[in-house]
A and B are shown apart, each in its own frame.
Chain A
Amino acid sequence: MNIYDFTGLTRSIHEGLSSSMSPLAVTVTEFVIIAFAFMIFFTILGLVLVYAERKICAFFQLRLGPMRVGKWGLAQTAADAVKLIFKEPMITKNADKFLFNLAPFIVIISTFMALGALPFAKGLHALDFDIGILYISAVSSIGVIGILIAGWSSDNKYSLIGAMRSGAQVVSYELSVGLSLLTIVVLAESLQFSEIIASQEAGWWIFRGHIPALIAFCVFMIAGTAETNRGPFDLAEAESELTAGFHTEYSGLKFAFFFLAEFVNMFIIAAIGATVFLGGWMPFHIGHWAGFNQIMDFIPPIVWFFGKTGFLIFLMMWFKWTFPRLRIDQLLTLEWKYLLPINLINILIMAFVVLMGWHF
């Protein structure tokens, strides 16, 4: 059948383990394998994304970016990671040490849990709940608690202001992200990621869902960029006024956790966007053109997934280096007076379209 199907591989690993171990040991071993796989993936992803960000930023500003370490500066981020590991971890004198140390872990755990639900290819899927999208928005809402307590426990006014801004921003933009995803859930008739992808067999929702899907995609990209605290919505860590926002007092590995979590969150938002609007690992299919679809199927799903996700990440970096930073009142006005009403009306239109059967 399909040579790019991972279901057989994962099943054979499971059966191989089951034949020699008790069910409890199998469960624990599988947990450990998956945890290690995700940790390695997480680290590599962080390194690649930081390198991409620096290079893309450089090209937007007509510079070369990192060039010294390795060919085209390819080893630069790895060198930076080593530097971060060896840095001295410092804690301000009056900080609440328990909460100060806990905060980066809350942020990174929520990122990890969201990463676990992403479908990378057919069968390459750690968690496939039937509440997929609800699960991701649930676990990513824990991250804001980490940001808030990081800012509060640092005993620094910049951190506190940054945390309050960040909290207000994440809590309000979560709504728009959720509602724009719901617009496509109405079309796909499922919250489960594997079923959302399967429903795009005949074409991606962004093309088949008419204008409402396109509007939902635009809202999702804006709100997603804001939810990850990235520019032009990065006023939580506006360096000219707040030094570094909620992670001003963090150094070394704990700073690296916040930094990595921000980049991986960007990847998660892009991957959700790619999965829900652009078909995830599903190749580019056009209706009943069997020959064309066959040719597209030769490209492995992993390439499709990372290609689409990479394109959306590039879009988000493009935003960051093109638009000026918003003020806090502009940010809240954009969400509550524009995006949210547009979203609510859009979801009604989409429900009407689905009811009348006007979509392809």
Chain B
Amino acid sequence: MNALTIIFYIMAVLMVVFSIMAVTSRKLLRAAIYLLFVLIGVAVFYLAVDYMFLAAVQVVVYMGGILVLIIFSILLTSHLGERLQVVKPTTMLFAAVLSLVSAGVVISVINGFTFITSTFEGDKLTVAHIGQQLLSYDQFGYVLPFEVISILLLAAMIAAIAIAKYKHQGKS
């Protein structure tokens, strides 16, 4: 049993525990912090398979970006003593059935999927390779998705500015 296996099992158990805590906690900000731990666990898995770039992107995007946004909105909308209501039993049952079904679909798809072995040659995947592949227009290049996502983000940004700039009639 090597160090990586031990780290994998520790992180796997922690992630499962924190995922359950994130959905069962009745304090909103605590749930967000448990989610933070789950996301850190994913980053550790990427590090464990030596995929530094994806680990850093995971931290930047999910922890530094999305989670900070979630915490900001919690800070603006809720206060310290507030607790979430316990949902009705029928809703709980429906949610449980739905999540079990979706988990079943995901597991069956992953089991039936044949993973293609990477054709990458060279001893280490560097960030330079990823950058070139991201902007390459040869086979397996990603320039089209890259540009499409850029346009999507630009549209979202302009929309956000338009909403923020919008003034109600009569209120100056």
Interface residues of A (CB under 8 A from B): 23-24, 27-28, 94-96, 98-99, 102, 129-131, 134-135, 137-139, 141-142, 144-145, 148-149, 151-153, 155, 160, 163-164, 167, 171, 174, 190-191
CA distance A174 to B63 in the complex (A): 14
Q: Are A152 and B75 in contact (CB under 8 A)?
A: yes
Tally of contacts, chain A with chain B, CB under 8 A: 90
The interface residues of chain B lying within 8 Å CB-to-CB of A144 are 64, 68
Interface segment, one of B9-17, B51-59, B88-96: B51-59
Residues of B within 8 A of A95 (CB): 80
Assembly CA distance A152 to B74 (angstroms): 10
The dominant DSSP class at the A interface is helix
A153 touches B52 (CB 8 A): no
Question: Is B112 part of the binding interface, using a Cβ–Cβ cutoff of 8 Å?
Answer: no
B64 touches A129 (CB 8 A): no
Q: Which residues of A contact B65 (CB under 8 A)?
A: 141
Q: Which residue of B lies closest to A24 (CB)?
A: B3
Q: Are B80 and A94 in contact (CB under 8 A)?
A: yes
Q: Would you call A138 and B68 a contact (CB within 8 A)?
A: no
Q: A138 contacts B36, CB within 8 Å?
A: no
Interface centre among A28, A135, A190 (most CB of B within 10 A): A135
Q: Is B42 among interface residues, defined by CB-CB distance under 8 A?
A: no
Q: Determine whether the beta carbon of A149 is less than 8 Å from that of B29.
A: yes
**Could you tell me if B2 and A135 are in contact, using CB atoms closer than 8 angstroms?**
no
In the complex, what distance in Å separates the CA atom of A99 from the CA atom of B25? 13
- Complex: A137 Cα to B57 Cα, angstroms: 10
Per-position 1/0 for B71-106, Cβ under 8 A of A: 110110000110000000000000000000000000
Q: B residues within 8 A CB of A24? A: 1-3, 6
Check B33 against A94 for contact (C-beta < 8 Å). Answer: no
Chain A positions within 8 Å of B126 at CB level: 130
State the CA gap A139–B65 with chains docked (Å): 12
Q: List 6 A-B contacts (CB under 8 A).
A: A23-B3, A131-B52, A138-B64, A141-B65, A160-B75, A191-B127
A142/B56 in contact, CB under 8 A = no
Complex interface: chain A residues within 8 A of B26 (CB):
none
Given contacts A94-B81, A153-B80, A191-B127, contact A134 B72 (CB under 8 A): no
List of B residues within 8 angstroms of A163 by Cβ = 75
A residues within 8 A CB of B143? none
With a CB–CB cut-off of 8 A, which chain B residues contact A167? 68, 71-72, 75
- Check B2 against A155 for contact (C-beta < 8 Å): no
Distance of B69 from chain A, by nearest CB (Å) = 9
Going nearest first, the 6 A-B pairs with the smallest beta carbon separation are A141-B64, A138-B59, A138-B56, A138-B60, A134-B56, A129-B52
A141 touches B72 (CB 8 A): no
What chain B residues lie within 8 Å of A131 (beta carbons)?
52-53, 56, 127
Closest to B125 in A: A130
- B53 and A134: CB pair below 8 A? yes
Q: A23-B2, A149-B71, A153-B29 are in contact. Are A142 and B52 (CB under 8 A)?
A: no
User: How far apart sit A72 and B94, CA to CA, in the bound complex (Å)?
Assistant: 71
Does B134 belong to the interface (CB within 8 Å)? Answer: no
Give Cα distance in the complex from A99 to B31, angstroms.
Answer: 11
A130 to B128 CA separation, bound complex (whole angstroms): 9
Residues of chain A within 8 A (CB-CB) of B33 are 99, 102, 145, 149
Q: Do residues B63 and A28 form an inter-chain contact, with CB atoms below 8 A?
A: no
Distance A96 CA – B28 CA, assembled complex (angstroms): 12
Contact B27 A148 (CB under 8 A): no
Q: Give the chain A neighbours of B74 by CB distance below 8 A.
A: 152
How far, in angstroms, from A24 to B36 measured CA to CA in the complex? 28
List 5 additional contacts besides A24-B1, A24-B2, A135-B56; criterion CB under 8 Å.
Answer: A94-B81, A134-B53, A134-B127, A145-B33, A151-B75
